[in-house]
Amino acid sequence: MKKLIMIVILAIGLVSCNKETQQCNCGTIANDGISGNCYWLEIRNDCSGNKKTFCFDQDVWMNAYVGSHFCVTNQNEW
């Protein structure tokens, strides 16, 4: 019985550690495009699942692909 309790406590600890290390300013690029002077990326947040569109310069936009993982450094979460 003690072993079972220890395994449950260990499993809960491992799950909670994974959530703490997840960066909530990162996500998966869902779409991209150009609108006027805005090279935009629509990103689905890893933590909330929300999508938000951000403008970037052409260099960043050219190296970011739909389906890839991307972090927005000046945002905490969306």
- Per-residue confidence in pLDDT tens, the chain, 78 aa: 555 455 556 566 555 544 556 789 999 999 999 999 999 999 999 999 999 999 999 999 999 999 999 999 988 889
Instruction: Please give the model's pTM, rounded to 2 decimal places.
Output: 0.70
> Which amino acid does the sequence have at 53?
T
Contacts of 21 (CB under 8 A, 6+ apart): none
pLDDT at residue 23, as a whole number: 85
Domain locations in the chain as residue ranges: 23-78
C-alpha–C-alpha distance, residues 74 and 31, integer Å: 20
CATH number of this structure's domain 23-78, picked from the four choices 1.10.150, 1.10.10, 3.10.310, 2.40.50? 2.40.50
